[in-house]
Copies of this chain bind each other. A is one copy, B any other.
Amino acid sequence: MKVSKFGGSSVASAAKFKQVAQIIQADKERKMIVVSAPGKRYADDTKMTDLLIALAGKIQLGEDYVEEFGKVIDRYREIVTELEMSEEIITEIIDNIDSLISLHKNDPFRLLDCLKASGEDNNARLMAAYLQHLGEEASYVNPKEAGIFVSDEPGRARILELSYEELPKLKEREGILVIPGFFGYSEQGNIVTFSRGGSDITGSIVAAGVKADLYENFTDVDAIYSVDPRLVEKPCEMKEVTYREMRELSYAGFSVFHDEALEPVFKSGIPVCVKNTNNPKAKGTFIVSKRKVGDQPVVGIAGDKGFCNIHVDKYLLNREIGFGRRLLQILEDEGISYEHTPSGIDNISVVMREHQLTPEVEERVLDRIQTELEVDNISIERNLALVMVVGEGMNSSVGIAAKATEAFAKAGVNLEMINQGSSEVSMMFGVKADALEKAVQALYNTYFNKMYSISYSSVK
């Protein structure tokens, strides 16, 4: 049995609904369907979630929200009309949104969260109705009914373990089950959303909960590429990638997969297949526990901008026990998370996402470091990018670092930092943000383009 999740672009219009239905009908194993809210139909289109956020905004301001409400309903109505379905489902959706508004109108934060969740919720109702319309035995399953219980943290819910006791019961139900992604219910009965892109999380939880044979993740690309196609032209596809590799890639700028979504399937060892709704015959990319490394130790390259580096100098720093801990404590007090802390004998650097350092936070942090740690010098380097080379075969392969650094040197990219030694599947490089494209292209040429390839294997 397969759990199949369809992302926003796969359920954005009537035409897409037809494609999805065909995919579901083509394989009887596709019994549990998780859907996102309608995504963009064209480049300038507005996603359903954003229409719902706009609606919530108007209500919060106490302003008239007829227009925004209308836009939401029109997106659903267009799908229903084109699919020649009964208007009944639209009445159901209107009632649902109305009841959310009257229930939460005095709690703007909760209202926003529920309205956002309704995008997925009502789209699941619509998909179930459409499958019934096509003659399939299909039913909408509310996350509460399914047993998706989460922590009561709107916008960043975490799954509660008790869900995994409830979810297996879904297998007893007949027909195709359509479950909305993106949210669950708190134990108090509140609707609570995961972080954005969280339909992937729902799909993964359901797949783990029912012990599916495969978790299919339908999106709009034939496969996951070895590198972001915005950085390198026509990069090669990944046939197989491990959970660990995928997680490292997602982290450093790969937007294909939601970072957190792989945890439930990873823990249950359920393979994932990323497939294309528009071209379901393409084999897609399999995300698995283990893969044969073969002659390709590196599976992908990712890069992301928006990092900065706080650099601290203090003579004889390395003899001061507790210095690093006290530095990290200051950052922790400000709620700052960091990526990496390269260190020297008399200095230490902390690399972090730049957006965390607002002017006020920066002033407080620098002031505390200066006065509490009595440093000789402190400076911030901005506009950094991190580049990750990822692959299960890296740890055992002599020369991986050599190839990377040689590629950078030949491309004239100066390395601001190298972080290698903890992860067995990745190597991290810091470069200036404006060198990111050049750096990624150089690495891609080295690892994936046979024309540029150099081998160190003969000397081992």
Q: Which of the residues B348, B420, B426 comes within 8 Å of A415, measured between beta carbons?
A: B420
Are B345 and A410 interface neighbours, CB within 8 A? no
- Alpha-carbon distance A251/B343, docked complex (angstroms): 14
Q: Which B residues are CB-close (under 8 A) to A408?
A: 398, 401-402
Given known pairs A345-B251, A420-B415, A421-B417, the reply for A339 and B324 (CB within 8 Å) is no
Q: Which B residues are CB-close (under 8 A) to A415?
A: 401, 420
- Alpha-carbon distance A316/B403, docked complex (angstroms): 29
Are A321 and B345 interface neighbours, CB within 8 A? no
A335 adjacent to chain B (CB < 8 Å):
yes
- Alpha-carbon distance A412/B396, docked complex (angstroms): 11
Q: Which B residues are CB-close (under 8 A) to A316?
A: 260, 263
Chain B residue with minimal CB distance to A312?
Answer: B422
A61 adjacent to chain B (CB < 8 Å):
no
The proximity string for A residues 306-339 relative to B, scoring 1 for CB distances below 8 Å and 0 otherwise, is 0001010001101101101100110110011111
For window 410-424 of chain A, which residues contact chain B by CB distance below 8 Å? Answer: 410-423
The proximity string for A residues 163-174 relative to B, scoring 1 for CB distances below 8 Å and 0 otherwise, is 000000000000
Say how far A303's CB is from chain B's closest CB, in angstroms: 15
- Alpha-carbon distance A349/B339, docked complex (angstroms): 13
Q: Which of the residues B266, B328, B401, B409 comes within 8 Å of A418, measured between beta carbons?
A: B401
- Alpha-carbon distance A248/B346, docked complex (angstroms): 9
Are B398 and A402 interface neighbours, CB within 8 A? no
Say how far A393's CB is from chain B's closest CB, in angstroms: 13
Chain B residue with minimal CB distance to A399?
Answer: B409
A29 adjacent to chain B (CB < 8 Å):
no
Binding site secondary structure of chain A: mixed
- Alpha-carbon distance A426/B406, docked complex (angstroms): 18
Say how far A335's CB is from chain B's closest CB, in angstroms: 6
- Alpha-carbon distance A340/B341, docked complex (angstroms): 8
A-B contact pairs, 18 of them (CB 8 A): A247-B346, A309-B421, A311-B422, A321-B336, A324-B338, A324-B341, A340-B343, A340-B421, A341-B343, A342-B419, A344-B422, A344-B423, A347-B423, A396-B414, A398-B413, A406-B406, A415-B420, A417-B422
Are A341 and B341 interface neighbours, CB within 8 A? yes
A109 adjacent to chain B (CB < 8 Å):
no
Say how far A436's CB is from chain B's closest CB, in angstroms: 16
Given known pairs A412-B459, A423-B347, the reply for A337 and B325 (CB within 8 Å) is no
Say how far A291's CB is from chain B's closest CB, in angstroms: 18
Chain B residue with minimal CB distance to A320?
Answer: B337
Are B315 and A325 interface neighbours, CB within 8 A? no
- Alpha-carbon distance A340/B404, docked complex (angstroms): 22
Q: Which of the residues B325, B332, B403, B410 comes within 8 Å of A332, measured between beta carbons?
A: B325
Say how far A382's CB is from chain B's closest CB, in angstroms: 15
A460 adjacent to chain B (CB < 8 Å):
yes
A456 adjacent to chain B (CB < 8 Å):
yes
Are B263 and A426 interface neighbours, CB within 8 A? no
Chain B residue with minimal CB distance to A267?
Answer: B315
A430 adjacent to chain B (CB < 8 Å):
yes
Chain B residue with minimal CB distance to A407?
Answer: B402
- Alpha-carbon distance A132/B366, docked complex (angstroms): 57
Chain B residue with minimal CB distance to A381?
Answer: B421
Are B420 and A421 interface neighbours, CB within 8 A? no
Chain B residue with minimal CB distance to A420?
Answer: B418
Q: Which B residues are CB-close (under 8 A) to A123?
A: none
Given known pairs A321-B332, A398-B413, the reply for A421 and B342 (CB within 8 Å) is yes
- Alpha-carbon distance A45/B206, docked complex (angstroms): 75
Are A328 and B324 interface neighbours, CB within 8 A? yes
Closest 7 CB pairs of A and B: A417-B421, A344-B423, A342-B421, A399-B409, A402-B409, A325-B328, A402-B405
Q: Which B residues are CB-close (under 8 A) to A321?
A: 332, 335-337
Are B410 and A459 interface neighbours, CB within 8 A? yes
Say how far A399's CB is from chain B's closest CB, in angstroms: 4
Q: Which B residues are CB-close (under 8 A) to A340?
A: 342-343, 421
